[in-house]
């Protein structure tokens, strides 16, 4: 919702508070009409638009374009364009090291301590913890699942 300064409501003629997208942005809409708060509320009433569906559709469009729609997985970083992700070689090497250590039979706690001793820095800039090592071993996104039960 954008402010429609010095404009009159398209529907009732009152001072406009919002620039309302006629076609939702998630559907490719670019044009707006000025609406006052009351008329804008009517448009976005319970039965007029399904915000959950609009959000879901917008996220699907972003994903189809390869754009970031949530958290960035470990081993990747936001690309310079700010919309896509690209591999982070440093974090990929950390994932490989964690998986090597787990394959050698080290506990998650020992893996965390070993990463600290070897000078590997986590994304957060803080210290390594066993749970981080466990996630890097369990998440199938990083390759084979190394957790033993």
Q: What single string gives the DSSP state of each residue in 117-145?
A: HHT---TTSS---HHHHHHHHH-GGGSS-
At 98 the pLDDT is 95
For the chain, the C-alpha Rg in angstroms (whole number) is 24
The answer to whether 37 and 11 have CB atoms below 8 angstroms apart is no
Nearest CA-CA partner of 139 in 107, 98, 86, 89: 98
Distance between alpha carbon 135 and the CA centroid of its chain, in Å?
Answer: 18
Q: Is residue 129 part of a domain?
A: yes
Picking from 21, 19, 18, the residue whose alpha carbon sits closest to that of residue 30 is 21
**Domain span at 134:** 87-142
Q: Do 129 and 91 belong to one domain? A: yes
Which of 7, 32, 64 is the last residue before a domain boundary? 64
Closest CA to 58 of 21, 94, 95, 105: 21
In a domain, 13, yes or no: no
Please report the pLDDT score of residue 67 as a whole number: 82
Q: Which residues contact 137 (CB under 8 A, 6 or more apart)?
A: 98, 99, 102, 108, 145, 146, 147
Residue 8 lies in a domain: no
pLDDT string in tens for the chain (149-residue length): 445 557 898 888 899 888 888 888 877 888 888 888 888 877 776 545 567 777 888 888 888 888 888 888 888 898 999 888 899 999 999 999 999 999 999 999 999 999 999 999 999 899 999 999 999 988 755 555 444 43
The answer as to whether 78 is a domain residue is no
Q: What is the pLDDT at residue 93?
A: 95
Asked if the structure places residue 147 within a domain, the reply is no
Most distant CA atoms of the chain, gap in Å: 73
Using DSSP, state whether 62 is helix, strand or coil: helix
DSSP H or E segment with residue 18: strand 18-21
Within this chain, do residues 95 and 55 fall inside the same structural domain, yes or no? no
Do the domain assignments include residue 135? yes
pTM of the model: 0.58
Domain assignment present for 12: no
129 and 97 within one domain: yes
For the chain, the domain total comes to: 2
60 and 93 assigned to the same domain: no
Say yes or no: 91 and 59 in one domain: no
Q: Give domain status of residue 115, yes or no.
A: yes
């Amino acid at each position: 919702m954008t402010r429609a300064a010095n404009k009159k409501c398209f529907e009732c003629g009152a001072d406009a508070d919002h620039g309302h997208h006629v076609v939702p942005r998630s559907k490719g809409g670019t044009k707006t009409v000025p609406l006052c708060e009351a008329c804008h509320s009517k448009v976005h009433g319970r039965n007029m638009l399904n915000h959950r569906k609009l959000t879901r559709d917008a996220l699907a469009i972003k994903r189809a374009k390869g754009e970031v729609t949530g958290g960035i997985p470990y081993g990747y970083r936001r690309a310079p364009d700010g919309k896509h992700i690209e591999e982070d070689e440093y974090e990929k090497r950390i994932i490989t090291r964690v998986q090597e250590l787990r394959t050698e039979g080290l506990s998650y706690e020992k893996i965390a301590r070993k990463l600290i001793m070897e000078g590997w820095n986590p994304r957060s800039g803080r210290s390594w913890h066993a749970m981080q090592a466990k996630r890097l071993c369990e998440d199938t996104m990083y390759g084979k699942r190394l957790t033993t039960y």
